[in-house]
Amino acid sequence: MAFTVAVYRESQGWPAEERFGLISQVRRATSAIPLNIAEGAGSSSDKEFCRFLEIALRSAYEVMTGIEIARGLEFLVNERADAILKEADEIAAMIVGLMKSLGWSRPSRPQK
């Protein structure tokens, strides 16, 4: 949740015209991380919990992409973007670790 608060605060300095664009998208994605973890924690099975954790993981990747876009648009200095991305990557790794402890394994993608 601290990560979500930090991203909300960081995005306050982004251009006002992005209020309904990138700011909204990144904030929704960062909020989805702890919200899906919390919702999944109330699940009746590990499989169901893992489903919510997968959503949280995808949201973490979405935040990372949004931060890279913000960096490219020069809304963030490189050092700040790097710090946020490092924390997001650590959160993603923790989510994967929790999923694995619950018996999850990454499904293989079909060959084309």
User: Tokens 């990372």 — which residue?
Assistant: 64
What DSSP designation does 102 have?
Answer: T
Look at residue 39 in the predicted model and tell me its pLDDT.
Answer: 96
Domain boundaries, the chain: 2-7+15-101
For 29-79, the DSSP string reads: HHHHHHHHHHHHHT-SSHHHHHHHHHHHHHHHHHHHHHHHHHHHTTSS-HH
Output the pTM of the full model.
Answer: 0.90
Q: Mean pLDDT of successive 10-residue segments in the chain (112 residues)?
A: 96 92 96 97 93 97 97 95 98 96 78 70
Query: Half-sphere exposure (CA, 13 Å, Cβ side) for 51?
Result: 8
Alpha-carbon torsion, ordered 48, 62, 78, 18, to 10 deg: -130
2-7+15-101 carries CATH number 1.20.1440.60:
yes
